[in-house]
């Protein structure tokens, strides 16, 4: 098939399937996989064999690992040593042995069973990290644990290539290539000590080149101010490092990760991320499509029960092993279940390892084809498994406090304040109130956040604050105030509305995302709201004014005028919220008024006073009167 026509089919399939999958809540990864199945040689056969495309698409995994490395500074990597070498090492060994044991029970020789265990112990770096990104779990404990395991798996591939040939029990096919993972190794014919030395030299070259050679090159290119050359240089670094690692028999993805770690503290880090990110998304999408196209539907149709059993058995067994290990390493049940679900599939390295084992005479071609289909299907089911996990977790959360919690569980006594939500917003509010002698009871539904806060000595109670029985048990009938700081727009409105109906005299303060949310909260009974980014943005604007040459007094005064006028306009515009044309006109008028007030304030600077002295005797009163006149005029116009 002509190259352009093949590219047209791949791109068209992605553009059609991925938005539909996202709209249905399935995630982009599953959309790519479905597209690959549809256009693959075993369905509509719109493209030929995906082998050649797969070799190109696997470069997406290499770029992904490079970008991950840029986010992981060496100190951070050292801090993660427990997750990488402890949890990750235990997962590879434990999963390999568990799968090998089951394989022996099914009649495989121990050599073949152990090889199958090592191959299927791998998980998909691309699918796992992409899925965690879409779920917002990448930066938390779940993401760190998953990343540590995946990194160790990449490291484990190296000894696996040395160990697997020793398990051979059958004569290898004459035509098979057993060169290794990703391409020929130029040191394969050397004795083991020489191969080890070559690996050390390659790693040293990557580290030394990244520290002492790459930075001057990038600085030279940056001075030329040619963006496309900088992008080309970034890609050259990734391709070059991957090639060096492949030459000495190491994983190209592992080499790319190492290069990223070396450059993580470089001043060019953000520019590298920005330039390479588009290639990562495009090539990873192509990789997922080729994985979907590689699912042999004829094999699936001929042995459906066997394949279903293999896929479910693989995912359940890996889930059980990883869940148990995660709990053993101190992870909470919710986090352990999330990590185990995310990593329960086979990985992209399984395809390479299976091809290698067939060539080495370790696994027969028929069994390898069946395992290849099982791994591909398990990868395709990962987004579905994560969706199912989230649904079960939500059901579990809803079912946990079926009974009204005993008020004795709330050791805070009779609180002055109930705080619903103790994230980055609620913590600041709560600490301020506690420091001033007020007693508060804190409710939050994020079990990982609660565990973390309790380690810092914070008393936070688990529960859904929108449940009235839980609020009563927490002491809301005796509290003077409810502060709603939930990180969920709809739940915030629901809680304010419920609490206002049940407790008409309770003071309710709420965190709002924006003006629209603030108006909704006020309409549903909140006494006052605070837009979560308003004061922070105003503080940054004040700092910006000072950096631009304003004296501190002048900058803070401008911010004060802006704050007073914005809050007044917020109240003035409230009656016309929902009337689009009237609201837009009133907003424009309010903006013009703001400009006039700030210009008037600037004019108070006495002529020739470079130091920035101010005639402030009557300014506040004059501004107040002017704002009142503008407000009356707008009300009359409305």
Give mean pLDDT, residues 67-84: 70
Instruction: Tell me the pLDDT of the chain averaged across its residues.
Output: 77
Range with the lowest mean pLDDT among 85-99, 134-148, 307-321?
134-148
Residues 276, 311: one domain? yes
pLDDT category at 630 given cuts 50, 70, 90 is: low
The string of pLDDT tens digits covering residues 203-247 is: 888 888 877 887 788 778 877 767 778 788 888 888 888 888 878
pLDDT for the residue 614: 42
Output the CA torsion sign for 376, 380, 386, 389. negative
pLDDT higher than threshold 50 for residue 619: no
More confident residue, 623 or 552: 552
Residue 18 placed within a domain? no
Residue 527 placed within a domain? yes
Tally helices (H) and strands (E) across the chain: 29, 6
531: region left, alpha or beta (phi > 0 left; psi from -120 to 50 alpha):
beta
pLDDT for the residue 135: 73
Residue 390 CA to residue 400 CA, distance in Å, equals 15
Helix (H, G, I), strand (E, B) or coil at 228: helix
Domain boundary among 532, 553, 585: 532
Number of domains composing the chain: 3
pLDDT higher than threshold 80 for residue 124: yes
Phi, psi of 237 (to 5 degrees): -60, -45
Residues 489, 554: one domain? no
Residue 5 CA to residue 152 CA, distance in Å, equals 39
Percentage above 90 pLDDT, the chain: 9
Helix (H, G, I), strand (E, B) or coil at 512: strand
Residues 580, 604: one domain? yes
Q: Which residues pair with 221 in a beta bridge?
A: none
Q: What one-character-per-residue DSSP string does 449-492 give? A: HHHHHHHTT---EES-TT-HHHHHHHTTTT-SEEEE--S-HHHH
Question: Could you count the other beta carbons within 10 Å of the beta carbon of residue 284?
Answer: 23
Residues 308, 379: one domain? yes
pLDDT category at 95 given cuts 50, 70, 90 is: very high
Residue 297 CA to residue 136 CA, distance in Å, equals 33
pLDDT category at 176 given cuts 50, 70, 90 is: very low
SS in 3 state form for 131-145? HHHHHCCCCCHHHHH
Tokens 């308003």 locate to 534
pLDDT higher than threshold 60 for residue 299: yes
pLDDT for the residue 1: 59
Residue 627 placed within a domain? yes
pLDDT category at 312 given cuts 50, 70, 90 is: very high
Which of 53, 74, 72 has its CA nearest to residue 64? Answer: 72
Residues 431, 464: one domain? yes
Residue 403 placed within a domain? no
pLDDT for the residue 72: 67
Residues 144, 94: one domain? yes
Residues 465, 327: one domain? no
More confident residue, 48 or 557: 557
pLDDT for the residue 594: 62
Residue 89 CA to residue 428 CA, distance in Å, equals 39
Give mean pLDDT, residues 597-613: 52
Range with the lowest mean pLDDT among 263-272, 355-364, 463-472?
263-272
Give mean pLDDT, residues 509-533: 87
More confident residue, 342 or 489: 342
Residue 385 placed within a domain? yes
Give mean pLDDT, residues 405-425: 68
Range with the lowest mean pLDDT among 90-99, 136-145, 618-627?
618-627
Which of 62, 63, 60 has its CA nearest to residue 288? Answer: 60
Range with the lowest mean pLDDT among 28-37, 300-309, 318-327, 330-339?
28-37
pLDDT higher than threshold 50 for residue 157: yes
Residue 568 CA to residue 626 CA, distance in Å, equals 12
pLDDT for the residue 392: 85
Residues 89, 141: one domain? yes
Residue 447 CA to residue 463 CA, distance in Å, equals 9
Domain boundary among 369, 395, 421: 395
Which of 477, 296, 503, 258 has its CA nearest to residue 380? Answer: 296
pLDDT category at 178 given cuts 50, 70, 90 is: very low
Assess contact for 330 and 75: CB atoms under 8 A.
no
pLDDT higher than threshold 90 for residue 187: no
Residues 380, 293: one domain? yes
Give mean pLDDT, residues 12-35: 78
CATH code: domain of residue 231:
1.20.1530.20
CA 529 to chain centroid = 30
pLDDT for the residue 191: 74
Which of 395, 480, 410, 472 has its CA nearest to residue 441? Answer: 410
Buried b (16+ CB within 10 A) or exposed e, 608-632: eeeeeeeeeeebeeebeeebeebbe
More confident residue, 36 or 323: 323
pLDDT for the residue 177: 43
- Residue length, the chain? 638
Contact partners, residue 358, CB within 8 Å, separation at least 6: 172, 173, 176, 364, 365, 368
pLDDT higher than threshold 50 for residue 615: no
Domain boundary among 395, 424, 458: 395
pLDDT for the residue 597: 64
> Which pair of tokens denotes residue 584?
């837009």
Range with the lowest mean pLDDT among 15-19, 320-324, 446-450?
446-450
pLDDT for the residue 233: 83
pLDDT for the residue 408: 38
Residues 192, 253: one domain? yes
Can you give the residue range of the structural domain that contains 306? 50-395
Residues 171, 289: one domain? yes
């Amino acid at each position: 098939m002509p190259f352009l026509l093949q590219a047209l089919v791949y791109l068209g399939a992605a553009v059609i399937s991925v938005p539909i999958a996202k709209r249905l809540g399935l995630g982009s990864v599953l959309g790519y996989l479905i597209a690959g199945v549809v256009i693959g040689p075993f369905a509509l056969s719109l493209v030929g064999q995906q082998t050649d495309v797969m070799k190109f698409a696997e470069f997406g995994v290499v770029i992904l690992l490079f970008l991950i490395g840029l986010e992981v500074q060496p100190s951070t990597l050292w801090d993660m040593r427990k997750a990488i070498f402890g949890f990750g090492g235990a997962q590879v060994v434990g999963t390999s042995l568990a799968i090998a044991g089951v394989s022996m029970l099914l009649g495989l020789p121990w050599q073949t069973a152990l090889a199958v265990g090592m191959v299927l112990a791998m998980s998909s770096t691309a699918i796992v990290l992409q899925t965690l990104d879409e779920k917002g779990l990448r930066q938390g404990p779940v993401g760190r644990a998953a990343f540590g395991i995946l990194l160790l798996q990449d490291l484990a591939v190296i000894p696996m290539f040395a160990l697997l040939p020793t398990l051979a029990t059958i004569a290898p096919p004459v035509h098979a290539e057993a060169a290794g993972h990703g391409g020929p190794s130029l040191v394969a014919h050397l004795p083991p000590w020489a191969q080890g030395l070559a690996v050390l030299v390659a790693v040293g070259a990557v580290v030394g080149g990244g520290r002492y050679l790459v930075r001057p090159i990038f600085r030279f290119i940056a001075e030329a101010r040619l963006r496309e050359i900088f992008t080309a240089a970034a890609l050259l670094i990734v391709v070059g490092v991957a090639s060096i690692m492949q030459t000495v028999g190491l994983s190209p993805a592992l080499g790319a990760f190492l290069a990223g770690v070396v450059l993580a503290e470089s001043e060019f880090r953000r520019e590298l991320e920005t330039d390479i990110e588009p290639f990562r998304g495009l090539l990873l999408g192509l990789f997922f499509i080729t994985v979907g196209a590689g699912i042999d539907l004829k094999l699936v149709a001929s042995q459906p029960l066997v394949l279903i059993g293999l896929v479910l058995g693989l995912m359940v067994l890996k889930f059980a092993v990883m869940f148990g290990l995660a709990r053993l390493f101190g992870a909470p049940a919710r986090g352990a279940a999330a990590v185990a679900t995310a990593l329960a599939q086979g990985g992209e390295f399984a395809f390479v390892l299976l091809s290698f084992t067939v060539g080495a005479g370790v696994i027969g071609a028929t069994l390898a084809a069946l395992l290849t289909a099982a791994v591909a299907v398990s990868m395709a089911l990962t987004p579905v498994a994560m969706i199912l996990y989230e649904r079960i977790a939500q059901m579990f959360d809803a079912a946990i406090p079926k009974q009204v919690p005993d008020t004795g569980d709330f050791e805070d006594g009779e609180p002055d304040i109930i705080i619903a939500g103790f994230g980055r917003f609620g913590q600041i509010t709560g600490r301020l109130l506690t420091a001033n002698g007020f007693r508060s009871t804190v409710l939050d539904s994020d079990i990982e956040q609660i565990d973390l806060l309790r380690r810092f000595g914070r008393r936070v109670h688990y529960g859904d604050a929108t449940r009235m029985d839980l609020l009563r048990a927490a002491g809301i009938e005796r509290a003077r105030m409810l502060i709603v700081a939930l990180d969920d727009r709809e739940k915030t409105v629901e809680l304010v509305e419920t609490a206002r109906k049940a407790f008409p005299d309770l003071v309710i303060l709420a965190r709002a995302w924006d003006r629209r949310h603030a108006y909704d909260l006020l309409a549903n009974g909140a006494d006052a709201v605070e837009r979560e980014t308003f004061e922070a943005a105003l503080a940054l604007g004040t700092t910006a004014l000072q950096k631009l040459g304003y004296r501190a007094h002048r900058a803070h005064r401008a911010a004060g005028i802006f704050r007073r006028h914005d809050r007044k306009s917020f109240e003035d515009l409230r009656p016309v919220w929902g009337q689009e044309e009237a609201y837009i006109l009133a907003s424009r008028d309010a903006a013009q008024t703001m400009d006039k007030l700030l210009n008037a304030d600037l004019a108070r600077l006495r002529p020739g006073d470079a130091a920035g002295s101010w005639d402030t005797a009557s300014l506040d009163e004059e501004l107040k009167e002017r704002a009142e006149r503008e407000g009356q005029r707008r009300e009359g116009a409305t």
